[in-house]
Chain A
Amino acid sequence: MAEAETVNDDVLAGLIAATARGDANAFERLYRETSAKLFGVCLRMLARAEAEEVVQDVYVAVWRKADQFDPDRARGMTWLSMMARNRAIDRLRANRSEVARSVIALEDEPAAAADDAAATMQDVHRLDDCLDELEAPRRTLIRTAFFEGATYEELAQRSATPLGTVKSWIRRGLLKLKACLER
Chain B
Amino acid sequence: MNTTPTDLPPPEGDPAAEYVLGVLDAPARREIEARAARDAVFARDLAVWEERFMPLLADIEPVAVPARVWEHLRAMVGGGAAASATRGGRPTGWWESLAVWRAFAGLATAAALACAVALVVLPGGTAPEPGAAMVSTLAHDDGSAGFVALIEPSRGQLTLTPVAAATSGGRVPELWLIPKDQAPRSLGIVDVTHSLVVRIPEAMLAEVGTDAVLAVTLEPPGGAPGGKPTGPIVAKGGVAVL
Binding site for B on A (CB under 8 A): 2-5, 20-28, 31, 35-37, 39-41, 43-44, 52, 55-56, 59-60, 63-65, 67-68, 70, 72-75, 77-78, 81-82, 85, 89-90, 93-94, 106, 113, 119, 121, 123-124, 126-128, 135-137, 142-143, 145-153, 155, 160-165, 167-168, 170-172, 174-175, 177-178, 181
Contacts and interface: CB of A to CB of B under 8 A. Distances in A.
A52 B62 contact: no
A94 B74 CA distance: 28
B222 A70 contact: yes
B181 interface: no
Given A2-B58, A24-B88, A175 B50 contact: no
Contacts of A39: 62-65
Interface of B: 1, 3, 5-14, 17-18, 20-26, 29, 44, 47, 50-66, 69-70, 72-74, 76-78, 86-89, 188-189, 191, 194-199, 221-223
Contacts of B51: 74-75, 78
Given A27-B73, A164-B9, 17 more contacts: A2-B62, A21-B191, A21-B195, A24-B78, A40-B60, A52-B66, A63-B73, A64-B199, A74-B51, A78-B50, A85-B22, A93-B29, A121-B55, A146-B21, A163-B7, A164-B10, A171-B12
Contacts of B23: 145, 150-152, 155, 170
Contact of B55 (A59, A93, A124): A124
Q: Taking chain A's interface residues, is the majority helix, strand, or loop, or is none over half, making it mixed?
A: helix
A162 to B, nearest CB: 4
A164 B87 contact: no
A127 B64 contact: no
